[in-house]
Chain A
Amino acid sequence: MHEKRKKLQTMRALILVGGYGTRLRPLTLSRPKPLVEFANKPILLHQIEALVQTNVTEVILAVSYRAQQMEEELVHEAKKLGVRLIFSHEPEPLGTAGPLALAREYLCASDDPFFVLNSDIICEFPFKQLLEFHENHGKEGTIVVTKVEEPSKYGVVVYEEDGKIQSFVEKPQEFISNKINAGMYILNPSVLNRIELKPTSIEKEVFPNMAQDGELYALELPGFWMDVGQPKDFLTGKYLHIMIFSILYICIYTYMRMSMYLTSLRQKHPEQLHSGPGIVGNVLIDPTATIGKDCRIGPNVTIGPGATLADGCCIKRSTILKAAVIKEHAWLDGQVLIVSKYVNSCIVGWRSVVGRWVRMEGTTVLGEDVIVKDELYINGGQVLPHKSISTSVPEPQIIM
């Protein structure tokens, strides 16, 4: 009986795509955030693929801007995956709960629970476990929680041993829990009765009520988790300074945990990683990229489709996006020490060209179609799209 029910299920998911992605500038000046590639795949596609593996057949994207570009680029991929994409346009920003009310007709088409996730998240998505756990406790909702080192910077979740959530505490001054909301949920359609069609926060207005009614459970997320849009861990020290002076700061956060992602890929799908002479550590290279002779690549490098590395390049801790060109003997290293952690932060944007003998280091991010002339030194330069750089940038700076 139980088996039969499962087969009839139409699993749905709603992804909160949301805003302008200003924190991913200058890359998001050219592409909507969910389409910016992480490890050679649009962030959104990482999520959709994981959902499809959990038998999700209908994905609702709650979007508020640049929906057309997303539709054009994703429809093809969705077809390949055999998933139906529905675009739910917000006429005005509706927060994190409002979009659910807007998509009510799709989410209430059956009694089956549906997934909700923020588009900023990349992790080892535990959708199967989540569904199982949710069905076992039989209540209205389950949220995924993850462990953090410094809970005082977040809102923490306090729950019982069986997962039943007692309360949410914003920025606890004394230790009460080290689990935070990871931005992934499974909810029954009945939750929609708690949400009105107006700008509402699901975390602050909906979940606390559900917890009070004993209808909300927590499941701890194993493996790695990253919220590419919320780099709270790093809002301290040196980086705070860079952020104050930079309006385009966050772009790098997407990529600084590349090493974590690649390490997890090494464990699960080592065949997807590149190996061979000149390759050091975890390196992901698209099959359509061209790599010259005598290059040294890695660790923690991803090279996108159609990208070209000429002879004698050395690339470390960097992301080379689609169709970018790195000319002969260039040297790139995105190693930066942030709060005593080394992170990856050199990004070469789509179709950008890095000249011969160029040295790029630090939090250097080139937007789309940027040209860096031969022999220059770029240290922490953040360059807006379509610029041509002809003098060195020896100290961190934004080039408008």
Chain B
Amino acid sequence: MLKAVILIGGPLKGTRFRPLSLDIPKPLFPVAGLPMIQHHIEACTKVSGLNEVLIIGAYPKNDLAQFVQEMSSTYGIVIRYLQEFTPLGTAGGMYHFRDQIRSGSPTYFFVMNGDVCADFPLQEMVEFHSSKQALLTIMATEATRQQSLNYGCMVLRKEGEVAHYVEKPSTFVSTLINCGIYLASPEIFQTMADVFHANQQQDHIMQLCYNGRDPAHIAFEQDILTRLAGSGRLFALPVFRWWSQVKTAGSAIYANRHYLALYKQKQPDRLASTNKNYCHIIGDVYIHPSASVHPTSVVRGINCPNVSIGPGTMIEPGVRIREAIVLGKAHIQAHSLILHSIVGTGTSVGEWSRVEGTPCDPNPNKPFAKMENLPLFNINGKLNPSITILGTSVSLAAEKILLNSIVLPHKELTRNYKNEIIL
């Protein structure tokens, strides 16, 4: 029997995903029509013998209750949400809920970070892990020399054994990086226990110079992986399929494109087609069934590669959408154009308006390049051009242009904006 743990963090994390994470927990933000972590769950359900998924995070239970219920009924496996009440670090949470994870005696369990998206190689990891008799297997991939510094870097011995592991090094170590997806044997809790007790002891000694961290805090990467490296029980499986972090809103559009491409490979029926949706479709497009059946929606003439359109959204004639995510209940009026943008729930875009952002895709000319995840402002204090984001219930008047801007929820925009954050 196998299990999976999805680590989703809490509302205080994922700030770079604002303003989209102001109204919806980031792990539930829809990418290619499905909440981000539903892609994880779906990948888990394809692994033979996996019948329970535990989601660990600090979001209030109510935020996830409906999602958890929907997932259980959609996939027919046990799905539970375990709420952390104090931030315990990536491994601290798991250690806290170790009994829940160990119950039923799973042979192995997956540990998946909620903010990555990938063509998950879960079955391959199971086979690799059991053949190596590993304690922990890391999904690894290549990065460029420069970008590797932003990730956990590792050096392998032959047979995939990790000889050395360092999280976000300041100098170059290796181009092989940690993808934040692991397969663990339950004995890993012994390693966590060792770290936990060592911390407790240290805490006891250093009580006078208490550093504000909970003594039960355990960071998976720094405390566990670094310790296991070189022990002969930590392994990594290098994978060269698509993988990306989703840190900024811009990366959601990139992830959207790749998940749509995966649909095309594996579930082409999920993609919209020109005949089915009464509109002109170019490339990979997801349209929520309730968007196309809305009684007043006329989606004729829409034409939109790499686009996801949420439930209840109405798209009027003559609209062009490309490289964008339009969430639910939005109203895109006639003749408008949406490029490289995310349009929030319930937002309205006036006729002949232009909503345009600047793509922040990885450099296509460099092999293994990842998303740059640039900071909001450059060193001169100017806004870095990024995708355009319209928060929830924004309304953009007719014939206006919104270029490289970020609009917080509930704004009414009646003029043009370029390179601005609209609070």
Contact = CB atoms under 8 A, between A and B. Distances in A.
A329 interface: yes
A311 interface: yes
Interface string A354-387: 0011010100000000000001010000000000
A312 B337 contact: no
Nearest to A295: B335
A375 B320 CA distance: 9
A140 interface: no
A311 B320 contact: no
Given A314-B352, A375-B337, A394-B418, A359 B401 contact: yes
Contact of B337 (A329, A333, A361, A394): A329
A331 interface: yes
B318 A312 contact: yes
Interface in A136-174: none
A357 B320 contact: yes
A392 to B, nearest CB: 8
Given A312-B334, A331-B335, A377-B356, A394 B403 contact: yes
Nearest to A379: B401
Interface string B307-321: 000000000011010
Give the size range of B's interface with the partner.
Answer: 10 to 19
Contact of B320 (A356, A361, A394): A356
Contact of B403 (A296, A329, A377): A377
Contacts of A361: 401
B318 A311 contact: yes
Contact of A314 (B317, B320, B322, B335): B335
A328 interface: yes
B355 to A, nearest CB: 11
Interface in A337-357: 356-357
Contacts of B335: 294, 312, 314, 329, 331, 357
B361 interface: no
Interface in A300-319: 311-312, 314
B351 to A, nearest CB: 8
B334 A294 contact: yes
B334 to A, nearest CB: 7
Contacts of B320: 329, 356-357, 375
A356 B302 CA distance: 13
Contacts of A294: 317-318, 334-335
A69 B21 CA distance: 65
Nearest to A356: B320
Contacts of B318: 294, 311-312, 328-329
A356 B282 CA distance: 15
Contacts of B403: 377, 394
Q: Which of B318, B335, B401, B403: most chain A Cβ within 10 A?
A: B335
B339 A331 contact: no
B399 interface: yes
Identify whether the interface residues of A are mostly helix, strand, loop, or mixed.
Answer: loop
B354 interface: yes
Contacts of B418: 394
Contacts of A333: 399
A333 B353 CA distance: 12
Nearest to A359: B354
A294 B298 CA distance: 15
B348 to A, nearest CB: 18
Nearest to A328: B318
Interface in B308-365: 317-318, 320, 322, 334-335, 337, 339, 352, 354, 356
A377 B354 CA distance: 9
A331 B334 contact: no
Contacts of B354: 331, 357, 359, 377
A311 B318 CA distance: 9
Nearest to B339: A375
Interface string B24-36: 0000000000000
Contacts of B356: 377
Contacts of A296: 352
Interface in B379-423: 399, 401, 403, 418
A294 B319 CA distance: 13
Contacts of B322: 375
A357 B399 CA distance: 12
A359 B418 CA distance: 14
B7 to A, nearest CB: 40
A314 B318 CA distance: 12
A377 B123 CA distance: 47
Interface in A180-194: none
A375 B322 CA distance: 10
Contacts of A359: 337, 354, 401
A394 B322 CA distance: 19
Contact of B399 (A311, A312, A314, A394): A314
Contacts of A356: 320
A394 B318 CA distance: 23
B303 to A, nearest CB: 9
Contacts of A331: 335, 352, 354, 399
A333 B418 CA distance: 17
A320 to B, nearest CB: 17
A377 B352 CA distance: 13
A313 to B, nearest CB: 8
Nearest to A333: B399
A214 B399 CA distance: 59
A194 to B, nearest CB: 57
Contacts of A375: 320, 322, 337, 339
Nearest to A361: B401
Nearest to B356: A377
A196 B234 CA distance: 102
A244 to B, nearest CB: 23
B397 to A, nearest CB: 13
B337 A357 contact: yes
A344 to B, nearest CB: 16
Given A375-B320, A394-B418, 12 more contacts: A296-B352, A312-B334, A329-B318, A329-B320, A329-B335, A329-B352, A331-B335, A356-B320, A357-B335, A359-B401, A375-B322, A375-B337
Which 10 pairs show the lowest CB-CB distances between chains A and B? A357-B337, A329-B335, A312-B318, A331-B352, A314-B352, A312-B335, A357-B320, A329-B318, A359-B354, A359-B401
16 contacts: A294-B334, A296-B352, A312-B334, A314-B352, A328-B318, A329-B335, A331-B354, A331-B399, A356-B320, A357-B320, A357-B335, A357-B337, A359-B337, A359-B354, A375-B320, A377-B401
